[in-house]
């Protein structure tokens, strides 16, 4: 097994600090380039895509917050944060969803002969996606897929066998589809054991590609209402997240504005 490397340090590129998270000021093409450079550096590291739920969750979830603080690249996956960034004087150019990063990175990987490993989603989903990649992108080498049960409190007894299966294949890029906050915390737990492999959290990305979940039309996402589209399709699972938890984003934004202007929201 290759000797583990520490994740590469975050670059000095401009970042938006909102709540407990820092988000890189990148366009979509710049994000693809930055991730490609990270992979080609063979020093490891990981990539997260921050949305409103992440900003809110980082306020109270210490492990999630710590995972983000160690991320090599953090991009914005949420129009409300893009809009908020303009108010906070560090404008983020555009929304960069984790699901949207997958195919451009696979295409880039096909050109550069990367090996990729797919982790997560339901039984059979990653395998279906992997075979689709191999058919559509000659040159990409899908070296494995796995859909393990992950318990964030299980420690090395659980993580080491999963990591061993990944490291045996020595992938350049690891797509992780465990959902938040599990995927972010798990990636941070195993990052130093992944060696030169770069990990990226992609949420429901495999399900969207495989057709096992329906994604909002692009115009809805650009209008900032993908959350509402998903809520109407999965109300029992998502109502607490979007209605209760994410309502705290407004409070966090007001706090950030207060820190920058010195003027309390009630004044």
pLDDT at residue 262 tops 70? no
Looking at residues 196-219, what average pLDDT do you find? 87
pLDDT at residue 241 tops 70? no
Q: What is the dihedral of CA 200, 228, 62, 123, to 10 degrees?
A: -50
Q: What is the pLDDT of residues 60-94, one digit of tens each?
A: 999 999 999 999 999 999 888 999 999 998 999 99
pLDDT of 5: 41
- Strand arrangement, sheet containing 173-177: 73-76, 46-50, 198-201, 173-177, 115-120, 141-146
Which pLDDT band holds residue 110 (cuts at 50, 70, 90)? very high
Question: What pTM was computed for the model?
Answer: 0.87
pLDDT of 2: 38
Give percent of the chain above pLDDT 70: 81
pLDDT at residue 3 tops 60? no
| Structure-block tokens of residue 158 | 């659980």
């Amino acid at each position: 097994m290759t000797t583990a490397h520490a994740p590469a340090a975050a670059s000095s590129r401009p970042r938006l600090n909102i709540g407990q998270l820092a988000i890189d000021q990148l366009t979509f093409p710049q994000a693809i380039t930055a991730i490609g450079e990270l992979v080609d550096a063979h020093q490891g590291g990981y990539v997260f895509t921050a949305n409103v739920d992440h900003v809110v969750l980082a306020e109270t979830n210490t492990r999630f917050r710590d995972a983000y603080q160690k991320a090599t690249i953090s991009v914005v996956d949420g129009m409300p944060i893009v809009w908020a960034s303009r108010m906070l004087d560090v404008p983020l150019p555009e929304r960069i969803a984790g699901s949207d990063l997958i195919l451009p990175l696979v295409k880039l990987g096909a050109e550069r002969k990367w090996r990729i490993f797919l982790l997560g989603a339901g039984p059979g989903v990653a395998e279906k996606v992997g075979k689709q990649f191999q058919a559509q992108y000659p040159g990409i080498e899908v070296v494995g897929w796995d859909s393990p049960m992950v318990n964030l409190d299980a420690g090395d007894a659980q993580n080491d066998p999963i990591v061993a299966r990944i490291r045996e294949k020595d992938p350049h890029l690891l797509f992780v589809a465990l959902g938040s906050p599990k995927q972010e915390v798990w990636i941070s737990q195993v990052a130093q054991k992944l060696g030169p492999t770069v990990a990226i959290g992609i949420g429901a990305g495999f399900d969207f590609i495989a057709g096992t979940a329906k994604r909002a039309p692009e115009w809805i996402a650009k209008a900032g209402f993908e959350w509402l589209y998903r809520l109407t399709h999965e109300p029992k699972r998502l109502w607490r997240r979007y209605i209760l938890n994410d309502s705290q984003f407004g409070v966090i934004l007001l706090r950030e504005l207060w820190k920058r202007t010195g003027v309390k929201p009630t004044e």
